[in-house]
């Protein structure tokens, strides 16, 4: 494999023990560059190979909804790995402590993990790297072009990162090898994971129940991709901004949990040569916009803070802090979909019930929170809290970046000045009515609820 996908987090002399892949962001067996690299190292050393997943019983504002979907996918990962004679170990507790303990107990020779730009994951890895004596590698198995290759700085618009990605795509846009049955067996005892016990030990909000319309796991993700290709892709370019048109892929939760590789999605979509405009519009979202979000979080330590907004946006919002708001709401009113705006309420209800939200309406949803709160800081805090609690794809670079775009002008430009928003791009109910049938959307959501 191309070693540009690999970064060294800790140098050291490889030990004589097994190779371990610390799975985190990419929760799949197929099309997983990190797993492939770990197996490549293990085969070269004629060493055993194992996969570990360190489950934190609490993670940001995630609830049982997100944990249930994730654990359902991991159950399938364990079964799939067994077919390749690769053991899977679910570690529960503080991720850095659990991983270090596993490394010490099994005299691990090399540790491999996958890439995430989020602060919490980077803190875990830095803590592990400081205390390891063996090599520790990170593989970007999530982006088509590895994040550190695409750009070595924070990009300010899609227009600045797009040519860089397109320049590197011929190098990295390749068919992904298949994992092989591992030839060297794991010597220690391997016990199947007691998934019921794992679920009972979670320290999360259990009042928000799991969704029942989406099945987790690699196989379900591939089926969803196939359905999108056959039934929806042809109209994606014309219908993607209309929440009443069934053209969205429903792949976002699978991509968030790494249950399908974005590169696999892109490779399959590229096979459609009949609907070039629709295909290219989808690939722009899948590759350029998604990798721009990783770039933002990777190069911005305060990606979830007003400090991350561009200077022009912070200055403009500051000038309008004292503007009179026609409406202001506390968190409880936002969370309960109790505003004066029936469209906003419907969007919040969809997210609360289904765990998802249409991409175009995510922007409207966040911008109205800015309009109806007293400060940008409050707006950002409320939007992130609601997104991370209710969305299946919460706690994701796309979510943090989209909210920062909507509220703080990240990756956008200055627009005409107006009250409250300053020069931040504005969206309105009337504007949405010109884009799609608002009443039909609201009626659809009311029926769903």
Q: At 17, which CATH number? A: 3.40.50.620
Instruction: Give the Cα separation of 290 and 308 in Å (integer).
Output: 18
pLDDT reported for residue 1: 80
Tell me the CATH number at 347.
1.10.579.10
Q: In terms of domains, do 294 and 160 share one?
A: yes
pLDDT reported for residue 59: 84
Q: For the chain, how many structural domains are there in total? A: 3
Residue 321 phi, psi dihedral angles, 5° rounding: -60, -35
Q: In terms of domains, do 223 and 338 share one?
A: no
Instruction: Give the Cα separation of 265 and 35 in Å (integer).
Output: 18
In a domain, 197, yes or no: no
Q: In terms of domains, do 324 and 268 share one?
A: no
Q: In terms of domains, do 127 and 41 share one?
A: yes
Residue 339 phi, psi dihedral angles, 5° rounding: -110, 180
pTM: 0.97
Q: In terms of domains, do 396 and 362 share one?
A: yes
Return the structure tokens found at 385. 């809290």
Return the structure tokens found at 268. 């399959």
User: Could you read off the pLDDT of 204-240 as tens digits, one per residue?
Assistant: 999 898 999 999 999 999 999 999 999 999 999 999 9
In a domain, 283, yes or no: yes
Tell me the CATH number at 263.
1.25.40.80
Q: Which residues of the chain have pLDDT under 50?
A: none
Q: In terms of domains, do 123 and 155 share one?
A: no
Name the domain boundary from 251, 269, 299: 299
Q: In terms of domains, do 272 and 128 share one?
A: no
Instruction: Give the Cα separation of 77 and 44 in Å (integer).
Output: 24
Name the domain boundary from 247, 265, 299: 299
In a domain, 187, yes or no: no
- Those residues whose C-beta lies under 8 Å from the C-beta of residue 446, and which sit 6 or more positions away, are 346, 349
In a domain, 189, yes or no: no
Instruction: Report which of 272, 258, 173, 156 is spatially closest to residue 216, judged by C-alpha positions.
Output: 258
Which H or E element spans position 387? helix 376-390
Q: In terms of domains, do 156 and 293 share one?
A: yes
pLDDT reported for residue 169: 96
Instruction: Give the Cα separation of 31 and 28 in Å (integer).
Output: 8
pLDDT reported for residue 364: 98
In a domain, 206, yes or no: no
Local structure of residue 422 (DSSP, 8 states): B
Q: In terms of domains, do 294 and 317 share one?
A: no
Burial class (CB in 10 A: 0-12, 13-18, 19+), 38: buried
pLDDT reported for residue 243: 96
pLDDT reported for residue 411: 98
In a domain, 208, yes or no: no
Return the structure tokens found at 224. 């969803």
Q: In terms of domains, do 381 and 265 share one?
A: no
What's the distance, Cα to Cα, between the start and end of the chain in Å? 48
Instruction: Report which of 328, 336, 338 is spatially closest to residue 370, judged by C-alpha positions.
Output: 328
Residue 414 Cα distances to 186, 261, 368, 375, 418, angstroms: 58, 35, 18, 19, 11
Q: In terms of domains, do 171 and 316 share one?
A: no
Q: Which residues pair with 53 in a beta bridge?
A: 23, 90
Q: In terms of domains, do 240 and 279 share one?
A: yes
User: Could you read off the pLDDT of 302-334 as tens digits, one per residue?
Assistant: 999 999 999 999 999 999 999 999 999 999 999
In a domain, 243, yes or no: yes
Name the domain boundary from 142, 166, 196: 142
Can you give the residue range of the structural domain that contains 435?
306-448
Angle between helices 64-83 and 218-231 (to 10 degrees): 100
In a domain, 186, yes or no: no
Angle between helices 342-354 and 359-371 (to 10 degrees): 120
């Amino acid at each position: 494999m191309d070693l540009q996908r690999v970064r060294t987090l800790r140098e050291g002399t490889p030990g004589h023990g097994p190779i371990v892949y610390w799975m985190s962001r990419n929760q799949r067996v197929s099309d997983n560059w990190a797993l492939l690299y770990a197996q490549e190292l293990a085969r070269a050393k004629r060493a055993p190979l194992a996969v570990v997943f360190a489950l934190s019983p609490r993670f940001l504002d995630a609830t049982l909804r997100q944990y249930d979907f994730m654990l359902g996918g991991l159950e399938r990962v364990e079964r799939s790995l067994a077919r390749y004679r690769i053991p899977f170990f679910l570690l529960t507790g503080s991720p850095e402590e659990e991983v270090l303990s596993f490394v010490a107990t099994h005299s691990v020779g090399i540790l491999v993990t996958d890439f995430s730009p989020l602060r919490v994951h980077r803190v875990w890895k830095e803590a592990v790297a400081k205390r390891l004596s063996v090599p520790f590698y990170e593989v970007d198995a999530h982006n088509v072009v590895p994040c550190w290759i695409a750009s070595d700085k924070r990009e300010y618009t899609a227009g600045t990162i797009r040519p860089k990605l397109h320049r590197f795509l011929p190098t990295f846009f390749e068919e992904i090898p298949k994992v092989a049955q591992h030839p060297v067996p794991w010597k220690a005892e391997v016990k199947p994971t007691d998934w019921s016990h794992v679920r009972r030990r979670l320290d999360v909000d259990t009042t928000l129940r799991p969704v029942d319309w989406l099945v987790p796991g690699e196989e379900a993700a591939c089926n969803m991709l196939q359905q999108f290709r056959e039934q929806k892709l042809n109209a994606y370019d014309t219908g993607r901004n209309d929440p009443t048109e069934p053209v969205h892929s429903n792949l976002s939760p699978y991509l968030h949990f790494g249950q399908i590789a974005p590169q696999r999605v892109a490779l399959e979509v590229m096979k459609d040569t009949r609907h070039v405009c629709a295909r290219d519009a989808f690939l722009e979202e899948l590759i350029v916009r998604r990798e721009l979000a990783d770039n933002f979080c990777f190069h911005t330590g305060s990606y979830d803070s007003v400090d991350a907004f561009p200077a022009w946006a912070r200055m403009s919002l500051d000038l309008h802090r004292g503007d009179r708001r026609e409406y202001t709401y506390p968190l409880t009113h936002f969370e309960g979909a109790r505003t004066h705006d029936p469209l906003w309420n419907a969007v919040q209800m969809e997210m609360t019930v289904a765990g998802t939200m249409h991409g175009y309406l995510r922007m409207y949803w966040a911008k109205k929170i800015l309009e109806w709160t007293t400060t940008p800081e409050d707006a950002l805090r409320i939007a992130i809290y609601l997104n991370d609690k209710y969305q299946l794809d919460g706690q994701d670079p796309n979510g943090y970046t989209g909210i920062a775009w909507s509220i703080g002008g990240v990756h956008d430009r200055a627009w005409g000045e107006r009250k409250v928003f300053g020069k931040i791009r504005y969206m309105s109910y009337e504007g949405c009515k010109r884009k799609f049938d608002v009443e039909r959307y609201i009626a659809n959501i009311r029926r769903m609820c």
